[in-house]
Amino acid sequence: MTAADSRLLKPALYRVAGTEAAPDRPALLGAACACGYVFFPLQTYGCERCGSRDIQPRALSGSGRLLASARVHRHAGKTRQAPFTVVAVALDDGPIVRTLAVEDEAALAVGQRMRSLLAPVVDPDGAPCFDLRFAREA
Ligand SMILES: [Zn+2]
């Protein structure tokens, strides 16, 4: 089963297809305001910078730089298995996203290039699907 023929856990937030700038990785579904502000995720309440409702959906490249990471060794939630790593990634298209990193033996370093990918997960009902993660750029 591949991501292309399977179900996405959060299809309102990302898609299998990439952007023109990064076609080989899933795009994040954000938006851009007429004032130039780019944000994620898409919402239609108004621009977070100027308040305008002149907002257009925009697919954002799944490429960016690592701003910070935190390894979580214990989690209070019963549905999330620890350990896992939370990362803040500054996307090349502007927004900063906080997401999960693919588990990797190598240490993450602030400033390193990161890329999006779809990882196999299980939804709350136990069905297999794919969810967005970030990993170190190869
Ligand atoms: Zn704006």
Per-residue pLDDT tens over the stretch 33-70: 999 999 999 998 999 999 999 999 999 999 999 999 99
Dist. CA 17–CA 77, nearest whole Å: 31
Q: Which pLDDT band holds residue 105 (cuts at 50, 70, 90)?
A: confident
Residue 13, phi-psi category: left (phi > 0), alpha (psi -120 to 50), beta (remainder): alpha
What's the 54 CA to ligand 1 centre distance in angstroms? Answer: 8
Residues measured by CB to lie within 5 Å of ligand 1, the ion = 33, 35, 37, 47, 49-50, 52
Q: What pTM was estimated for this model as a whole?
A: 0.89
Between 91 and 123, the higher pLDDT residue: 91
Dist. CA 73–CA 100, nearest whole Å: 14
What's the 64 CA to ligand 1 centre distance in angstroms? Answer: 22
pLDDT > 70? residue 132: yes
In one-letter notation, the amino acid at residue 82 is A
What's the 79 CA to ligand 1 centre distance in angstroms? Answer: 37
What's the 66 CA to ligand 1 centre distance in angstroms? Answer: 26
What's the 33 CA to ligand 1 centre distance in angstroms? Answer: 5
What's the 41 CA to ligand 1 centre distance in angstroms? Answer: 15
- What is the per-residue pLDDT for 75? 87
CB 38 within 8 A of CB 32: yes
